[in-house]
Amino acid sequence: MRSLKMLGLAAPDPPGTNANPVARRWFDWYATAVWRAMGCPAGRIGPDTVQALVLTIAEHELVPQIAYNRSAARQAERLDHRLEMIGLSLFALALFGCVVLLLGFWFAPLWVKHNSNLFTIVSAGLPAIGTAVVGIRAQGDYVGSAMRSEQTAQVLEQIADRLEREPRNLPRAGDLVEQAARAMHADLDEWRLLNQQHDLSVG
């Protein structure tokens, strides 16, 4: 929003229209407030100032977004891997407990009878917790989140590279910044759609 406004490529529609409805959610209100607080850009953009503006947008807008998406991808991958290891470990412990129980019935039935509560917890509790962990992993879709974040980071990185390498002219700079805005907006829309589909009700 800041970059598009500096390039003169964005302007809000009147409040209450289909394109700019009256803010009913806190983030809609916040975006509108940020837009108003930025004020109206003043000055002229000439051939000598386009390069400085383009490099500023790449450094302060795209580079932090690339770093954020790369960090989010790594974090999601680590979380998915840890949940997988926890679930597998719980099921392995439950399986090991069942093997010990079967061997105990054969070699030490009195010991098994004395520790029956422990074997009940191992054989029933651990698989239940493991199933819950697997459910959390599936519901969270952390692999999908990591892939989306990494893909967004790659697209923004390509756009930032083009902003730094290609000839400095205002129409091309505006086109590339609009591409970056579309990439970030598409990632946000996909995240919202997937999270709205997750039913968190108990019933």
pTM for the model stands at 0.77
Structure confidence at residue 170 as a pLDDT band (50, 70, 90): confident
Under the phi-then-psi rule, with left for phi > 0, alpha for psi from -120 to 50, and beta for the rest, what region is 199? beta
- Mean pLDDT, the chain, as a whole number? 84
CA distance 40 to 198: 40
For 156, other C-beta atoms within 10 Å of its C-beta total: 26
- How confident is the model over 112-129, as pLDDT tens digits? 888 888 888 888 888 899
**Domain residue extents for the chain:** 1-43, 51-197
pLDDT tens readout for residues 181-190: 999 988 888 8
Evaluate if residue 21 carries a pLDDT over 90. no
pLDDT surpassing 90 at residue 161: yes
pLDDT in tens, 75-98: 999 999 999 999 999 999 999 988
Give a three-class secondary structure readout of the chain: CHHHHHCCCCCCCCCCCCCCCCCCCHHHHHHHHHHHHHCCCCCCCCHHHHHHHHHHHHHHHHHHHHHHHHHHHHHHHHHHHHHHHHHHHHHHHHHHHHHHHHHHHHHCHHHHHHCHHHHHHHHHHHHHHHHHHHHHHHHHCHHHHHHHHHHHHHHHHHHHHHHHHCCCCHHHHHHHHHHHHHHHHHHHHHHHHHHHHCCCCCC
For position 22, what pLDDT does the model report? 64
